[in-house]
Amino acid sequence: MNQPLRLPTRASLATALVVALFAPTSWAAFNSGSTGADGVLNPTVNTEIELPPSGILNYTTVNIPTGVTVKFKRNAANTPVYILASGDVTIAGTIDVRGADAKHAGTYGDGAQGDDGIPGEGGPGGFEGGRGGRDDTQQRAAIIRGGGGLGPGGGAGGVEGADGCNATTGHYKYAGIGGAYASKALKVYMYHCTMTTPAADPYGSALMQPMVGGSGGGGGRGGTNYPGSGGGGGGGAVLIASSGTLRVTGSVDATGGDGGGVTGTGVGGQGAGGSGGGIRLIATTVAGTGSLLAAGGCINYNNARRQRCGATGRSDEWGGSEGRIRIEGESITYSGTSSPAYVRGEIGAVFLTSVPSLRISSVAGQAVPAVPTGTNDVTLPASTTGPVVVAFETTNVPLGNTIQLRVVPAYGTPSAAVSGALVGSTAAATADASVTLPQGPSALQATTTYTVTVASLQDEALSERLSRLAQNERVEKVEVTVALEGGARAKLITGSGQTFEMPYAALSAIGFKG
């Protein structure tokens, strides 16, 4: 019997593999950078497009007619979908990158029990929900705990214990927490406990650079007779760039998946909804009266989808938080619906390069694929005991920093470890950490944080540009956090102690390298 080890998909790292396409000057029309190699996209029936390894589709023009839905088959790296067009893009039908719903548990729905506890898969660039805890008549914690949703804002799974307000486990301990993205996702009923924990934390930024999808909702606790239901998958991420006019009269849908329904004597707890995904539209002109959708997932209740939505901690909110939507254009006349409301911005770079990155290179001496799938990327013998070594590789991260490793088992409580200091060079460094892995599948997550003193850069012009991002206060330090997923983040720290958080991409755009 082998012990599979899952590594999370790395949607955020895909941006390091492509060439930057810089923003246009004020006198030039926007250039999407499409090579046109994929020709014209003009489907007449519902279509599923297989994504290339980069996730980038190069079209001349795109026309999705009314009544036609286009979906995308996730690639091995689970990158977002990048649709580039040298001409116009018209979406009268539907582009669908939604997160999938989790399967039901117990006698709910069709009553089929072979799929109880299975979570929803994330849309392209999004992340899987947590698995529902297994059933156990003795209610042993190691068996019944629900799995945590994957992704930077993955919600925790349900745990053992009786109802009652607790800052660590919430009131309804059997329930999972929804996935987070643009905002925090509070556990159901926390509003009535006058608490803001437990919760899944937000990530990313309104700039949406790099692109990343939504995170999975946590799985419910297992019952005495039936498992808990799984959490919904996070909505996917899609970037659509047109050198001409991008017109949406249909819909672009990156909604999060629902937690599965539960019913039956001794059934487990409710899995939560995944968070909404990401939609970024860039064109010379963006127009239309359609729908842009990146709401969080909900739960299946009373045999109906999308019930008890929301993630603010009320007693009737079991869902994930909303995703992000951004529109960039020289002319923006789009007047359709947007859920959540879209952020309007100037045209920025389609892709970023030279950003800090982090990857897991090996586990217990076994190499991790250069493009992890997130499913059984490394398999260790069941006889493996004691600590194993997890090796890391970084680019553009200063030497001497350490990496924080988090192990998220399919069932049970996450654990953590810290690596030794990075060695090598800033351009290519390595480190490793020792950690004891639980039996069964686990997902590994990692982050590293370092601080750059602005004075050490000896660039007064850059210092001035940084101050404009900090309400014109002088910035003394920049704290950078790099993760496997979600993209690098930065925190500006001023002389008066104020802090301003933003994506690393915002600093890269003004010439910061550190």
* Residue 197 clears pLDDT 90, i.e. is over it: no
Q: Which fold has domain 2-10+353-448?
A: Immunoglobulin-like (2.60.40)
**Mapping DSSP to helix (H, G, I), strand (E, B) and coil, where does residue 192 land?**
helix
What's the whole-number mean pLDDT along residues 260-268? 97
CA 431 to chain centre: 25
Contact 20, 352 (CB under 8 A): yes
**pLDDT bucket at 373, cuts 50 / 70 / 90:** low
Residue 457: what residue type? L
In this predicted structure, what is the pLDDT of residue 31?
Answer: 96
**pLDDT bucket at 28, cuts 50 / 70 / 90:** low
Q: Name the average pLDDT for the chain.
A: 89
In this predicted structure, what is the pLDDT of residue 17?
Answer: 25
What's the whole-number mean pLDDT along residues 487-498? 86
In this predicted structure, what is the pLDDT of residue 73?
Answer: 97
**pLDDT bucket at 486, cuts 50 / 70 / 90:** low
- Residue ranges per structural domain of the chain: 2-10+353-448, 449-508
From 70-79, 257-266, 297-306, 353-362, the region with the lowest mean pLDDT:
353-362
DSSP 93: S
**pLDDT bucket at 20, cuts 50 / 70 / 90:** very low
Residue 258's nearest CA partner among 144, 367, 107, 103 is 103
Q: Which range has the top average pLDDT, 328-337, 370-379, 467-476?
A: 328-337
Contact 17, 38 (CB under 8 A): no
In this predicted structure, what is the pLDDT of residue 160?
Answer: 95
* Residue 15 clears pLDDT 50, i.e. is over it: no
CA 414 to chain centre: 18
What's the whole-number mean pLDDT along residues 111-119? 91
Decide: pTM greater than 0.85. no
User: Tokens 């939609």 map to which residue?
Assistant: 279
Q: What are phi and psi of 14, to 5 degrees?
A: -60, -30
**pLDDT bucket at 372, cuts 50 / 70 / 90:** confident
What's the whole-number mean pLDDT along residues 420-445? 90
* Residue 3 clears pLDDT 80, i.e. is over it: no
In this predicted structure, what is the pLDDT of residue 289?
Answer: 98
Encode burial over 6-41: b for 16+ CB neighbours within 10 A, e otherwise: bbbbbbbbbbbebeebebeeeeeebbbbbeeebeeb
What's the whole-number mean pLDDT along residues 221-231? 98
**pLDDT bucket at 276, cuts 50 / 70 / 90:** very high
Residue 508's nearest CA partner among 216, 207, 147 is 207
Rounded CA Rg of the chain: 22
From 56-70, 243-257, 477-491, the region with the lowest mean pLDDT:
477-491
In this predicted structure, what is the pLDDT of residue 324?
Answer: 97
Beta strands in 299-428 (DSSP E): 299-301, 304-307, 324-332, 337-339, 343-345, 357-363, 366-367, 378-381, 387-395, 404-409, 415-418, 423-424
* Residue 26 clears pLDDT 60, i.e. is over it: no
Q: Which range has the top average pLDDT, 276-280, 440-444, 468-472?
A: 276-280
**pLDDT bucket at 140, cuts 50 / 70 / 90:** very high
Residue 279's nearest CA partner among 352, 227, 204 is 204
